[in-house]
Chain A
Amino acid sequence: MHTEYIVSLRLVDACHALELTSPQVLEIVAHGIVAPTGETPEDWLFDLQMISTAKRALRLQRDLQLEWSAVALVLELIEERDRLRDENITLRRRLQRFLHD
């Protein structure tokens, strides 16, 4: 079957993917939750990680009834927690190989 990969999206496509209007996406960008490349909204390009982060932000904002600034903080903390957890898993695995294999 033919598959079509998409690597980056313009604002209008990002709005479709996020099911949001342009002003709503602009607000998410204004809070620094995602930082598309490009100078003006017409030139902005969103990669898939940004779309995923924005979706996560939307879920948090809606389900936990948070302000956007709180969403930005929560996302930063979650990202840091996930990074530390991954690092911990990797280091534990490496230590296990070093001590017991």
Chain B
Amino acid sequence: MDFKDYYKTLDVATDADLKTIKTAYRRLARKYHPDVSTEHDAEKQFKEVSEAYEVLSDDKKRAEYDELRQYGRSGQSFEPPPGWQRSGRQENQSSGNADFSDFFENIFGGGRFHQNAGTGGQAFDGSEDFGSSRGRDIEVEWPLLLEETLSDESRSIEYHLPHYSETGRQPDIRKSLKVKIPAGVADGERIRIKGQGAPGFGNGPAGDLYLRVRLVPHPLFDVSGHDLTITVPVTPWEAALGTSITVPTLTGKISLKLAANSQSGQRLRIKERGLKTKTGHGDLFALLKVVMPPSTDNETRELWQTLASKAGFNPRKDWEV
């Protein structure tokens, strides 16, 4: 296991008083809290900060840590000195969801198990004894392709569950589950599956699994609620004269009638070709984008010139007042 320099993590001096440690923790917790921060490694950073605070804010743990600190260097492999014995399981203050490091688990022993048992006992009706506690709820991101949300098939998901025993943290349990995608599922929605979270301890029941749906960006379609938008390139003459064009949808191609004098940026609604809702389907919107040909030959240029002289259209007329 690697040694953790908790003073460095909180950016405080080794003789910092509790008030300084608290202030440093509050500042870093605001910066890295996963519910607030937009930094990419916020969760990892927050766990480090929480772990450091857990130790340095507790006199007993801090004294024990200070004793060991003389044998370790930050980030380097660490073994307690010969003859050292941990003082036994300690009361851990923070009931956070942080999974603390191997270093913490080895030095302060069985922390997670103890925390879970404590909060579990409080959460329920008080009838549970210390040796039984409910397993943790697990939240897993569930990326779904738009096409998959239309399917009635079940989809496999794999996830890892933290596992603790009386002796501390054990290797994660790898789980695989087949889940039917609920109709009308939306981006950011959560699905709760009972009893598929972390195993309970003793006679405690397993926690639940929360799947947080993330719709994977599609190369053609943009999502807004249950509606889809596709940007449809059209030629100037198609926009001017009107035509029928073939447009892809999530379930195959359809023919779309374009009226004469259509405008770039105009949205055409195609009913019930969007994503599934709880009761039906959203709509698909075709957003027209008039595209000029990349180059013109002499003959085409002459045709444009004829049009220019006859059309008498000036889109900047308002500026001339």
> Are A63's CB and B208's CB within 8 A?
no
CA–CA, A48 to B34, complex, Å? Answer: 19
Question: Which A residues are closer than 8 A to B by beta carbons?
Answer: 1, 3-6, 15-21, 48-49, 51-52, 56, 59-60, 62-65, 74, 78, 90, 93-94, 97-98, 101
CA–CA, A15 to B193, complex, Å? Answer: 17
Known interface pairs A15-B123, A90-B224; A78-B36 also in contact (CB < 8 Å): yes
B180 on interface, CB distance cutoff 8 Å: yes
Interface residues on chain B, number (Cβ under 8 Å) = 45
> Are B124's CB and A16's CB within 8 A?
yes
The 8 Å CB contact of B123, one of A16, A56, A78, A101, is: A16
Question: Which B residues are closer than 8 A to A by beta carbons?
Answer: 26, 29-30, 33-36, 46, 50, 94-97, 119-120, 122-124, 134, 137, 177-180, 182, 189-196, 208, 210, 217, 222-224, 229, 231, 233, 265, 287, 289
Q: A3-B178, A97-B222 are in contact. List 18 more A-B contacts (CB 8 A).
A: A1-B177, A3-B177, A4-B193, A5-B182, A16-B123, A19-B122, A19-B123, A48-B190, A52-B190, A52-B210, A59-B33, A59-B96, A60-B33, A74-B36, A78-B35, A94-B229, A98-B231, A101-B231
The 8 Å CB contact of A63, one of B50, B177, B193, B210, is: B50
Known interface pairs A3-B179, A19-B123, A93-B217; A56-B35 also in contact (CB < 8 Å): yes
CB distance from A7 to the nearest CB of B (A): 8
The 8 Å CB contact of B35, one of A1, A5, A18, A60, is: A60
> Are B231's CB and A94's CB within 8 A?
yes
27 A-B residue contacts at CB 8 Å? A1-B177, A3-B177, A3-B180, A3-B196, A4-B194, A5-B193, A19-B122, A19-B123, A19-B134, A20-B123, A21-B123, A51-B190, A51-B192, A56-B35, A59-B34, A59-B97, A62-B96, A63-B94, A63-B96, A64-B26, A64-B30, A65-B26, A93-B217, A94-B229, A98-B289, A101-B231, A101-B233
Q: Find the B residue at minimum CB distance from A93.
A: B222
Residues of A within 8 A of B178 (CB): 1, 3
For the residues of B in contact with A, the DSSP-based class is: mixed
Residues of A within 8 A of B196 (CB): 3
The 8 Å CB contact of A18, one of B50, B123, B223, is: B123
Residues of A within 8 A of B208 (CB): 6, 17
CB distance from B26 to the nearest CB of A (A): 7
Known interface pairs A52-B190, A94-B222; A64-B29 also in contact (CB < 8 Å): yes
CA–CA, A20 to B251, complex, Å? Answer: 45
CA–CA, A18 to B50, complex, Å? Answer: 21
CA–CA, A62 to B122, complex, Å? Answer: 15
CA–CA, A90 to B221, complex, Å? Answer: 11
Interface centre among B29, B35, B123, B124 (most CB of A within 10 A): B35
Residues of B within 8 A of A5 (CB): 182, 191-193
CA–CA, A35 to B74, complex, Å? Answer: 47
CA–CA, A79 to B9, complex, Å? Answer: 30
